[in-house]
Amino acid sequence: MIPFTRRQSRVRVTDWSRTSFLIALMAAWLAGDATPARADLSDILHSEGFYEAPLDHSEFGNIALIKVEINGHPLRLILDSGAPETILSRSAAREVGLDGGTDIGSLDGLNGTADPHAERTTAQSFKINGVELSPSPIIVSDFRGPMRIGRTFFDGLLGWATLKRNNVVFGYNPKIFFFRPGAEPSRLLEEAFRADHYAELQFYPHGNAYYVPLNLNGTDARLKLDSGSPFTCVSTDFAQLHIPGERSQITSHGLYENSVEGIRSHGMDGNSIESHGVRPTTMAIGALKLPPSIIEESPAKAFNPSSHPGSEAYDGLLGFDLIGQFYAFLDFSNDRLYLHHAGN
């Protein structure tokens, strides 16, 4: 990895009223190339007993998918930090013998109900790359939209609780996936990234999710970190208050393409969303500035607290499009996201 240089500073970001969040910024980037050495990361994690598994990616949105084995049956899941728990479609659940779970009531997507009677269950066996995972709940639910990203098909979502319980280390860029079921978090990874002058975002998880402050035009939007979303979006209310300017009409850039109606849905509920493109004049995560780019202004019901009484309030989703601009690694074992400007 990059030679170690000790020049660091810390910046604290004000906590939100309902969720504590600390961002520690490691300053003083090295001059020249900052590409992380994948071999070094692999050596560090293998030395601590982590396992590695290959990732696939979709041609649309560059979303990561992983092959799993549930009760001896192979499936392919989206790696989705925005899903609180692992979710399987009903057809996939029947295929692997997961019928007859506990009714948990309605399961909602971003823009409506996906299943009025979703079920929670557990699998006798849940493996990645031949390694048995720590037990975690599996939600069985209808998926209202076609289960594909472009032409890439999948069977469900590998959610936050499973990723956390198995100490997953996920690389957005470059794509890597390491995990260590039922063991202590990595003790070496944090120091290695600090030595390479990565920005370090430390999370205090709330509601099986991570939340990130994306500063848009000088105001922080509280966004759920969603590795399963190709695009970043903010609520219509936030955009109208803080992102003035012209709107461009766009078809919703969701995960599930509806080939019958010729539109794309924004989530597992299958309901299409008429979104607009907005371009902030400034964008930053902490002190890491991003080039201004178009993001979605979305009227999705999930961003309206009155539509989900008692649910966690947030302003949108931080998707793959922005995080993928960095060398980026999400460490579930230590609740941290490490970022470094690509090419700096």
Which H or E run contains 238?
helix 236-242
Tally the C-alpha atoms within 13 A of residue 144's C-alpha that lie toward its C-beta.
21
CA dihedral 80, 205, 278, 107 (to 10 degrees): 50
Nearest-5° angle of CA 57, CA 163, CA 286?
Answer: 80
- Residues 197/123, Cβ–Cβ less than 8 Å: no
Rounded to whole angstroms, the Cα distance separating 217 from 249 reads 21
- Residues 268/141, Cβ–Cβ less than 8 Å: yes
Rounded to whole angstroms, the Cα distance separating 286 from 27 reads 11
Start-end of H helices in 10-142: 38-47, 90-96
In the chain, what is the straight-line distance between the N-terminal and C-terminal CA atoms, in Å?
A: 14
Nearest-5° angle of CA 110, CA 115, CA 117?
Answer: 140
- The answer to whether the pTM exceeds 0.75 is yes
Homologous superfamily in CATH for domain 51-179? Acid Proteases (2.40.70.10)
Homologous superfamily in CATH for domain 21-47+186-341? Acid Proteases (2.40.70.10)
Q: Within the chain, which residue ranges are assigned CATH 2.40.70.10?
A: 21-47+186-341, 51-179
Which H or E run contains 278?
strand 274-278
φ and ψ at residue 130, rounded to 5 degrees:
85, 0
- For 57, the token pair is 């990616």
Tens digits of pLDDT across the chain (344 residues):
432 222 232 333 333 333 333 333 333 333 334 444 555 889 999 999 999 999 998 876 678 999 999 999 999 999 999 999 999 999 999 999 997 789 989 888 888 788 889 999 999 999 999 999 999 999 999 887 667 777 788 999 999 999 999 999 999 988 899 999 988 999 999 999 999 899 999 998 888 999 999 999 999 999 999 999 888 999 999 999 999 988 876 654 444 443 333 334 457 777 777 778 899 999 999 889 999 999 999 888 888 766 555 567 899 999 999 998 899 999 999 999 999 987 65
Q: Quick check: helix, strand or coil at residue 86?
A: strand
CA 56 to chain centre: 16
- Residues 285/212, Cβ–Cβ less than 8 Å: yes
